[in-house]
């Protein structure tokens, strides 16, 4: 671009900026304000992944900021409070309403307790608010108590007897009967301020009972981003109208005894499916379709659920077969197995080997046309398709996933993604045919995300939408999908073949090579990141602590923070998940103990942080100027300074203040 064009474009921008800052004084004030923000400490970032519907543990970790609240209590009070008092204060901050109900029933001198507790909460609030501008804190204040809280946490140089001033405010709060509500307001404000930004690195859905509760919670969170996991992708595909994705969502729900999530959480009518399964599979052996239920599961539904489980699985295999046949570019012919069954000998040919099958009793499968749906199956699928695509709550949640989410994110010098960057054995980026052209590395992510968005947003371009829907399914389970990262999803083998070797899902070469610094540097460079300072933050594959695995790869350049949040993984991993906290001082991995229940946490004042691993300690404290927001602010300052120059040299005329 020529200098003259640049000058013209700058002037257009400056004229727009002048509407917001019409005087020299207003522009100068904003420059001073923005400069001061750059010098504030960087806000705390909180990273969670692989939540898998475990809403109680998720909400607890969110409330305690993976130990961030407790660290602030320790910093503020040191040895001046006993351990029991610190635990009690922390529990109050996490669950103020519930904890207060217990205290009100037990405490003899409640006014005295309120006086002590309010002083402590004000001290913690001051500490957690100190990282932010007064304007940002003011926006976070609860409406009913905004003025009083601001008075209590703001130093007032003009007041001579500060202690008497603050004491009188607190005494008045207690005297007029507002102490309970004020404790709750302060506790929730501390929760709000202790973490500045939340990253969800994939897999909110499946296995656990409350993904809809988690989504409601996230939609009310103050600042977050989401990197889609393959389980999220499956639900996105179901909401967008992919029959294959709908069957996967249903299969996981019935397999883990969580149909209530769909029926009660989302209001999806499963009666047509249940009726079909009960009639069609009435006299069919369904023993291979066991339900992994927990103590909340009503076992009277077991027989029906097993029939539904089988019916769903057969429809899924048919739909996936149709999809693979119409998308040869997906290179997934090895998953076409319904046509490899020998019903007479009850065997199946997988690759070059023949395996005995545990079950070949498939009343809806025509051996001559195994991927053809029966008329009854087509009716059920049409009804389910309508239910998923017209479910208001599910659509609201999925729109939120699209608006806040992506396949990867570069944030404050780090690279976040759920699964992997597909690699060849030599460490080079794998080329994948997505749409008639081969792409790899970052371009693969970008191309797949483009189609994932088309699946949901292309309302009138039907071919684009259909291709997008099929790509969403590929992202869920395709061999070169960066959010899946395995050679195959062995759904067929896991149900019908009793051979562990053929069930094995080989991980992408990425997982063999992610301790190699040269490989990780190549990935970071592909996403335009500094190989000396950047980290890759990764989920998807549980860290098996029992086997001596570590979440720190390549000396901490890559961090795997899926340690088994889902109860289904905890026997395998030995812990209940890793989370990551990055503050202005450094980065910490947090290992969590299994969470029993919210009631136990309140009653016993137990937290679930078990261990903290220092990943990196910054030699110099990080400030807002070191962040992505800092870069944007610096750019704004540069334009504001140009605006000042334009006012001062007469290129623009400042407008007089209205009187």
pLDDT digits (tens, 9 = 90+) for 340-376: 999 999 999 999 999 999 999 999 999 999 999 999 9
Q: Are strands 414-417 and 536-538 parallel, antiparallel or unpaired?
A: parallel
Rounded Cα distance between 77 and 617, Å, is 23
Q: Are strands 197-200 and 45-48 parallel, antiparallel or unpaired?
A: parallel
Please state the rounded mean pLDDT for residues 312-329. 97
Rounded Cα distance between 186 and 78, Å, is 21
The pLDDT tens digits of the residues spanning 324-344 come to 999 999 999 999 999 999 999
How much is the mean pLDDT over the chain? 91
Q: Do 418 and 540 contact (CB within 8 A), yes or no? A: yes
Residue in 59, 49, 120, 44 with CA at minimum distance from that of residue 86:
120
Please state the rounded mean pLDDT for residues 33-48. 92
Which of 110-124, 169-183, 608-622 comes out lowest in average pLDDT? 608-622
The pLDDT tens digits of the residues spanning 432-468 come to 998 778 999 999 999 999 999 999 999 888 999 999 9
Rounded Cα distance between 133 and 36, Å, is 9
Asked whether the predicted pLDDT for residue 251 surpasses 90, the reply is yes
At 44, the pLDDT band (50, 70, 90 cuts) reads very high
Distance of CA 154 to the CA centre of its chain: 35
Q: Do 170 and 118 contact (CB within 8 A), yes or no? A: yes
Rounded Cα distance between 180 and 191, Å, is 17
Asked whether the predicted pLDDT for residue 424 surpasses 80, the reply is yes
Which of 157-166, 392-401, 415-424 comes out lowest in average pLDDT? 157-166
Rounded Cα distance between 145 and 167, Å, is 17
Rounded Cα distance between 604 and 88, Å, is 9
Residue in 233, 289, 215 with CA at minimum distance from that of residue 494:
289
pLDDT of residue 8: 67
Asked whether the predicted pLDDT for residue 313 surpasses 60, the reply is yes
Share above pLDDT 70 across residues of the chain, in percent, rounded to a whole number:
94
Which of 59-63, 215-219, 398-402, 470-474 comes out lowest in average pLDDT? 59-63
Q: Does the predicted model carry a pTM greater than 0.85?
A: yes
pLDDT of residue 315: 98
> Virtual CA dihedral for 377, 382, 383, 384, nearest 10 degrees?
90
In angstroms, the Cα distances linking 224 to 3, 84, 195, 196, 592 are: 39, 33, 10, 9, 22
At 1, the pLDDT band (50, 70, 90 cuts) reads very low
Rg of the chain, C-alpha, whole Å? 28
Q: CB neighbours (10 Å) of residue 507?
A: 15
Residue in 313, 258, 328 with CA at minimum distance from that of residue 281:
313
The pLDDT tens digits of the residues spanning 501-528 come to 999 999 999 999 999 999 999 999 999 9
The pLDDT tens digits of the residues spanning 288-302 come to 999 987 777 778 889
pLDDT of residue 158: 60
At 657, the pLDDT band (50, 70, 90 cuts) reads low
Asked whether the predicted pLDDT for residue 120 surpasses 90, the reply is yes
Q: Do 539 and 203 contact (CB within 8 A), yes or no? A: yes
pLDDT of residue 659: 42
Residue in 295, 293, 269, 251 with CA at minimum distance from that of residue 494:
251
Rounded Cα distance between 291 and 297, Å, is 10
At 542, the pLDDT band (50, 70, 90 cuts) reads confident
Backbone angles phi, psi at 389, to 5 degrees: -75, -15
The pLDDT tens digits of the residues spanning 82-106 come to 999 999 999 999 999 999 999 999 8
Greater confidence (11 vs 658) lies with: 11
Rounded Cα distance between 541 and 50, Å, is 9
Distance of CA 317 to the CA centre of its chain: 29
């Amino acid at each position: 671009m020529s200098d003259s064009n640049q000058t013209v474009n700058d002037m257009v921008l400056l004229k727009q900026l002048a509407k917001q800052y019409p005087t020299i004084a207003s522009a100068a004030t904003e420059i001073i304000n923005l400069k001061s923000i750059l010098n504030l400490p960087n806000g705390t970032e909180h990273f969670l992944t692989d939540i898998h519907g475990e809403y109680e543990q998720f909400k607890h970790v969110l409330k305690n900021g993976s130990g961030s609240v407790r660290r602030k209590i320790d910093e503020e009070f040191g040895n001046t409070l006993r351990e029991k008092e610190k635990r009690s204060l922390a529990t109050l901050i996490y669950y103020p309403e519930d904890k207060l109900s217990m205290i009100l029933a037990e405490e003899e001198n409640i006014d005295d307790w309120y006086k002590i507790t309010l002083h402590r909460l004000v001290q913690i609030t001051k500490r957690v608010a100190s990282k932010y501008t007064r304007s940002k804190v003011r926006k976070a204040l609860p409406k009913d108590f905004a003025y009083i809280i601001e008075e209590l946490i703001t130093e007032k140089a003009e007041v001579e007897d500060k202690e008497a001033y603050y004491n009188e405010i607190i005494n008045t709060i207690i005297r007029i009967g507002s102490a309970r509500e004020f404790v709750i307001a302060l506790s929730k404000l501390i929760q709000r301020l202790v973490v500045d930004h939340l990253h969800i690195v994939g897999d909110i859905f499946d296995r656990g009972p409350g993904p809809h509760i988690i989504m409601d919670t996230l939609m009310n969170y103050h600042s977050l981003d989401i990197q889609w996991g393959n389980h999220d992708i499956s639900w996105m595909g179901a909401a967008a109208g992919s029959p294959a994705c709908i069957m996967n969502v249903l299969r996981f729900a019935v397999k883990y005894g969580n149909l209530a999530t769909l029926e009660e959480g989302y209001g999806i009518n499963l009666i047509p499916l249940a009726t079909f399964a009960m009639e069609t599979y009435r006299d069919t052996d369904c023993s291979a379709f066991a339900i992994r239920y927990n103590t909340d599961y009503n076992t009277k539904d077991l027989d029906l659920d097993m029939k539904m489980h089988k019916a769903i699985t057969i429809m899924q295999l048919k739909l996936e077969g149709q999809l693979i046949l119409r998308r040869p570019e997906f290179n997934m012919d090895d998953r076409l197995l319904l046509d490899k069954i020998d019903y007479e000998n009850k065997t199946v040919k997988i690759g070059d080997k023949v395996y005995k099958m545990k079950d070949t009793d498939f009343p809806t499968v025509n051996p001559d046309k195994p991927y053809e749906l029966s008329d009854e199956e087509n009716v059920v699928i049409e009804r389910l398709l309508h239910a998923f695509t017209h479910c208001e709550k599910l659509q609201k949640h999925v729109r939120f996933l699209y608006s806040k989410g992506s396949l990867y994110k570069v944030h404050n010098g780090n690279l976040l993604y759920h699964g992997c960057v597909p690699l060849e054995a030599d460490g080079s980026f794998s080329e994948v045919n997505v749409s008639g052209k081969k792409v790899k590395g970052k371009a693969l992510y970008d191309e797949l995300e483009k189609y994932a968005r088309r699946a949901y947003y292309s309302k009138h371009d039907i071919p684009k939408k259909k291709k997008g829907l099929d790509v969403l399914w590929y992202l869920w389970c395709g061999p070169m999908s960066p959010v899946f990262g395995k050679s195959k999803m062995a759904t067929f083998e896991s149900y019908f073949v009793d051979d562990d070797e053929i069930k094995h899902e080989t991980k992408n070469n990425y997982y063999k090579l992610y301790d190699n610094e040269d490989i990780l540097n190549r990935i970071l460079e592909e996403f335009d990141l500094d190989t000396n300072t950047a980290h890759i933050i990764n989920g998807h594959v549980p860290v098996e602590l029992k086997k001596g695995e570590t979440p720190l790869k390549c000396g901490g350049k890559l961090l795997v923070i899926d340690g088994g949040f889902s109860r289904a993984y905890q026997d395998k991993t030995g812990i209940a998940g890793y989370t990551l906290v990055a503050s202005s001082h450094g980065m910490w991995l947090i290992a969590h103990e299994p969470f029993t229940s919210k009631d136990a946490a309140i009653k016993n004042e137990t937290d679930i942080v078990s261990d903290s691993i220092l990943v990196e300690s910054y030699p110099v404290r990080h400030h807002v100027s070191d962040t992505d927001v800092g870069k944007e602010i610096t750019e704004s300052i540069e334009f504001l300074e140009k605006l000042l120059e334009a006012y001062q040299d007469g290129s623009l005329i400042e407008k007089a203040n209205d009187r």
